[in-house]
Structure 1
Amino acid sequence: MRKWLTGAVLGYFLYGLFVYWYIYMGGPDSIPEQFKGTSADPGTFMNSRELLLSGEYSRLRNFMYFITVPYEWFILLNVLLTGLSRKMEQWSDSIAKPDFLKTSIYLFWLSLIVTVCVLPVEWINYRISLSYQITTQSTTGWMKDQVIDFWVNFLLMALLVSVLFWLIRKYQKRWWLIAWTLSIPFSLFLMFIQPVVIDPLYNDFYPLENKELEEKILALADKADIPAEHVYEVNMSEKTNALNAYVTGIGSNSRIVLWDTTLNRLKEDEILFIMAHEMGHYVMKHIYVGIAGYLLLTLAGLYAIDKLSSAVIRNWGSILKIDSKKQIAALPLILILIGALTFASDPLTNTVSRYQEKSADMYAIQLTNNKEAAVSSFQELSKAGLSQVHPPFLIKLFRYSHPTILERILYLEEYHAEEQLKESQD
């Protein structure tokens, strides 16, 4: 056990050194020389203070992200190696008879341990964001969200873990396939209720108050053949200065949502471009493509977890204090594998997402035919979130679900140049 703990600490330390070196010294983040002075150059739309803060904040945020991800795995590994997972299993067995109650008791204590260990890191992230004026949320509001997160995640996990371990015990060889089959209606159900049940736990949503703007957005939706009746806004200014808009939900609960920070900071034509971008996602059915991709990855992931967990327990089960994946004590191992596989798949899912975002950008510029508004909206997004215009390669690979601001502006410039060439030829 001491060797494993020493190895885990050393590995985590070396990983942290590499991350620090890459973010602060190794990965170049300045834009290429040929784009200096263009509309994609942050020097043309950010002042010197914004440029300095953007670099500082982006590096800090990226460093904390890459450090935090394996930190949670490290906590779970310690729960296994110290025998704490086995002891919590025995304790839950001694005070409850039904499997669901046993699982819930075990999961509560595991969730509490992880939350307590991760909370200081989350607090640091919050304070960093607050110091750079990205977050505007009060400490009380932040703590309230942490409590809501804990209970929402615990209740969902209690249901999922109970079903998962019941399947593992009853269908040892095919549990992963049955679990995946059951995940399809459950995932669709969650996506259906999220806009009306889960999201309102954190923020207030209401129809867009600016009716004149709503009419223009709905006219744009009609032009795109989208049957929309309302656009929603959400009071994110209580929590952040960043800008955003998104499409959420499926079926009759699907919504186009605008953050009120976006409404307050952007001009009308910039908002219309962003709305056209979200409509592009709807028209090209990116939500359903995303669901299909998620389900395929879930199938591959569950199969991999079945094989990997069996191999780990077979070879190192005595060190991890677990005998079989049927035990609830094996849950930390399964969570480590889920986390590692998710992290490893991020480059793939982000690549697909960036392709969809580019497609939505192209759709929006065709729908609005307003390049200036498109470019200025991207510039404002970068300034409001203090995001890097041209991040290092690995940062983009693992963290960017959207094309970089440099890429998005260059796409629009190229499209505009091509359209002007076609017009001149005609």
Structure 2
Amino acid sequence: MARKMGFYGVIAYVLYGFAVYWYLFYFADSSLPFEFEGSRADPATFLNGRELMLSEEYSKVRNLLFFLSTPFEWLFYFLILLLGLSKAFKKWGEDTAKNKYGQTAIYLIWLSFFAYVVTFPLSYISYTLSKTYNISTQSFASWMKDELIDFWINYAMMFVIVVVLYWLMNKFKRFWWLFAWMLSVPFTLFIMFLQPVVIDPLYNDFSPLKNKELESKILDIAGQANIPAEHVFEVDMAEKTNALNAYVTGIGSNSRIVLWDTTLNRLNDDQILFIMAHEMAHYVEKHLYIGIAGYLFLSLFGLYFVSRLMNWAIRRWGKEFKLQHPGDLRSLPLFLIFLSMIMFAASPVSNLVSRYQETRADRYAIEMTDNTDAAISAFQELTKAGLSQVNPPWLVKVFRYGHPTMLERISRLEDYEVEKRNAQEGEY
């Protein structure tokens, strides 16, 4: 039975892969609606023929990798259970260490190592793809360094989570999911507090913005918005990428406004001020805290459904999975499968909320700066630097886009321009 389940799992993944490939390369339509042709949202007005071709090629392959990678992890964990590897990892831990913490640590290192090795080809393809299309400028050694940092940070956090999670599963068999959620609230806030000062500096160098004149302009906008910012930070990204970015990170006293140096090098002051006003809007409208609340709300239901699904799966296929109850550490791959599935299924909702917040931030930024030319040209430069599709296919937008499409963002700015012009004419 286990062999048959594994065979069907592989076949299902292959069929899914072909379906995604057919959708992205033959069925999906990313062409511009005719009413936007010739507008400033039309990529033909700011990209040359080669850039248009490259953006379509790059986006299709990158989207394919996205849709293949998460279900590939489900298949991997499914086979780990069916082939008895999860049982073997636990036995190796028990044979090597005497206490539960040591056994869990050894189990996790084997599971993490196998997962990293199996998923490495997809990660490497993604890296080489971005290098081929001149998005990434990162050397292989630097990329591997970041990969290893990722591995050990994820391992450390996973160890803490798994130790607590399985203690709760065995202590509170019916309501472990509720207690796990309650503990996840302070843990999530703690990680977000540490992110800008402990985790992010492991990957890149951060420093106060060197251009003090620009920093003064940015802080002036922050002051108008009653944002208690004393510094703007820049991060050295030019050695890794040609893409552009800016963001607000952290919570409380550790909040930071951050600009990539690639953004500073490629955009002028007016364009940067619009982007900064956009980021400040997230602070003003408390999007970060709304996002945290939404994440915690979804995680409550997610953990509940995971507990129900694990009980159902073990009752039905416990023999094939070599599992008798959810509190057995060997059930971790099953937990990860269901958690990932629920997060993937919920991503259209979370992306929808995020796109709404980003639309609000765009509106705030244009009202604050009142410079549509700078805003539109900034979005055009972001599109060009990242070889992004202006009008991505519907499924790509639903599952991948936490921001509105560039077609939506630029066309809304043009609408704002018309509204402003009409309002001025009405005054006369």
TM-score class, shorter-chain normalisation, is over 0.9
Deviations 1:162-193 (A, max 9, x none): 00000001011111111111111111000001
Deviations 1:70-115 (A, max 9, x none): 1111111111000111121122122223222111110110000000
Amino acid at match of 2:26: M
Is residue 399 of structure 2 the alignment partner of residue 404 of structure 1?
no
Q: What is residue 46 of structure 1 aligned with on the other side?
A: 47
Q: What is residue 307 of structure 2 aligned with on the other side?
A: 306
Query: How far has the Cα of 1:304 moved from its partner?
Result: 0.5
Distance 1:256 1:297 in 2: 27
Distance 1:351 1:97 in 2: 48
Distance 1:402 1:367 in 2: 20
Give the number of aligned pairs. Answer: 426
Amino acid at match of 1:362: R
Amino acid at match of 1:300: F
Percent identity over the alignment is: 56
Secondary structure (helix, strand or coil) at the match of 1:365 reads helix
Deviations 1:118-140 (A, max 9, x none): 11111111001100000000000
Q: What is residue 374 of structure 1 aligned with on the other side?
A: 375
Q: What is residue 2 of structure 1 aligned with on the other side?
A: 3
Deviations 1:194-231 (A, max 9, x none): 00000000001110000010001011111111111000
Secondary structure (helix, strand or coil) at the match of 1:237 reads coil
The TM-score with structure 1 as length reference comes to 0.99
- Taking the TM superposition and a 5 Å limit, the aligned residue runs for 1:277-356 are 277-356=278-357
Distance 1:186 1:122 in 2: 28
Is residue 100 of structure 2 the alignment partner of residue 99 of structure 1?
yes
Q: What is residue 238 of structure 1 aligned with on the other side?
A: 239
Q: What is residue 187 of structure 2 aligned with on the other side?
A: 186
Amino acid at match of 2:395: L
Aligned residues: CA RMSD: 0.7
Q: What is residue 34 of structure 2 aligned with on the other side?
A: 33
Distance 2:88 2:221 in 1: 60
Amino acid at match of 1:72: E
Query: How far has the Cα of 1:14 moved from its partner?
Result: 0.7
Amino acid at match of 2:114: I
Is residue 257 of structure 2 the alignment partner of residue 248 of structure 1?
no
Secondary structure (helix, strand or coil) at the match of 2:238 reads helix
Unaligned runs of 5+ in 2: none
Query: How far has the Cα of 1:371 moved from its partner?
Result: 0.4
Amino acid at match of 1:26: F
Q: What is residue 161 of structure 1 aligned with on the other side?
A: 162
Amino acid at match of 2:412: Y
Distance 1:5 1:263 in 2: 51
Distance 1:87 1:228 in 2: 52
Distance 2:6 2:161 in 1: 30
Unaligned runs of 5+ in 1: none
Q: What is residue 228 of structure 1 aligned with on the other side?
A: 229
Amino acid at match of 2:226: D
